[in-house]
Amino acid sequence: MQPTPDFVPQELAKSLLRRSRQGALATLMAGSGDPYCSLVNLASHPDGSPILLISRLAVHTKNILNDSRVSLMLDERAAGDPLEGARIMLSGRAEQDDNETDLLQRRYLSAHPSAEAFASFKDFSFFRIRPTGTHLVAGFGRIVDLKPEQFLTDLSGAEDLLAAEEGAVEHMNADHRDAMRLYATKLLGAAEGDWRCTGCDPEGLDMQHGQTALRLDFPERVTDGPALRKMLVRLVGEARAKESQESI
């Protein structure tokens, strides 16, 4: 299917991955191979792949440790008939990576601060779903299968940005909450709220107020700290200009 001006499958799939905080996780029952589905909280890796914090006491974790193949259903929680909203079914493998534990923990707890109360329990571990593909349904005639390279963010060449991300997020939340408010309300049309930054990557900034998440896409790719600062200053200038126009 060819994208139309108001429907770009890759962008919609990326947005759903970044904005989703809960999803339905399907695993295979150890022993029988029967399908098993459960509700999980999730966050996103800098490349957009889902991060889970799950207990080894849970059935879905036991299933994953026996067979890492999973699928994850995410939807945009549209008002009215949920079948009229966009959703994706992402397939892949849920894996642990000792080299990324700190990153996974930081990104997850930024999206779910209350999880800090049990994240250190011995039976809990962070898993990252490494996608093999996704099936996007966005309404009648808008059904597309996408490959990982079409909906994940390319992190190549962005090592400097990833190294600066933690400090940048802390700085934005400590010193630039008004900028976050402007991004949310003036650039994304969201309601007023205590918007805070939960992460950034070469393609955009993630924000959250309560369990409502937003994605601010950058007009150009950024790969290091100085480029990120310039982009954020540019976008806050655009937001202030829009605010001034609205007050006239």
pLDDT at 77 over 90: no
Residue 1 confidence (pLDDT):
44
pLDDT digits 0-9 by tens, 172-225: 999 999 999 999 999 999 999 999 999 999 999 999 999 899 999 999 999 999
Rounded to two decimals, the pTM is 0.93
> Buried b vs exposed e over 6-36: b needs ≥16 C-beta within 10 Å?
ebebbebbbbbbbbbbebebbbbeeeeeeeb
Q: Is residue 82 very low, low, confident or very high in pLDDT (cuts 50, 70, 90)?
A: confident
pLDDT at 80 over 90: no
Residue 5 confidence (pLDDT):
58
Average pLDDT, the chain: 94
138 or 77: which leads in pLDDT? 138
pLDDT digits 0-9 by tens, 10-24: 999 999 999 999 999
CA dihedral for 90, 92, 95, 99, sign (positive or negative): negative
Residue 4 confidence (pLDDT):
55
Residue 101 confidence (pLDDT):
94
Catalogue all structural domains in the chain, each as residue range(s) with its CATH number. 9-151 (2.30.110.10), 159-243 (3.20.180.10)
What Rg value do the Cα atoms of the chain yield, rounded? 18
pLDDT digits 0-9 by tens, 90-115: 999 999 988 999 999 999 999 999 99
Residue 152: how many CB atoms within 10 A of its CB? 21
Residue recorded with tokens 């108001």: 6
pLDDT digits 0-9 by tens, 26-69: 999 999 999 999 999 999 999 999 999 999 999 999 999 999 99
pLDDT at 171 over 70: yes
Q: What's phi and psi for 53, nearest 5 deg? A: -120, 110
Q: What residue type is 154 in one-letter code?
A: D
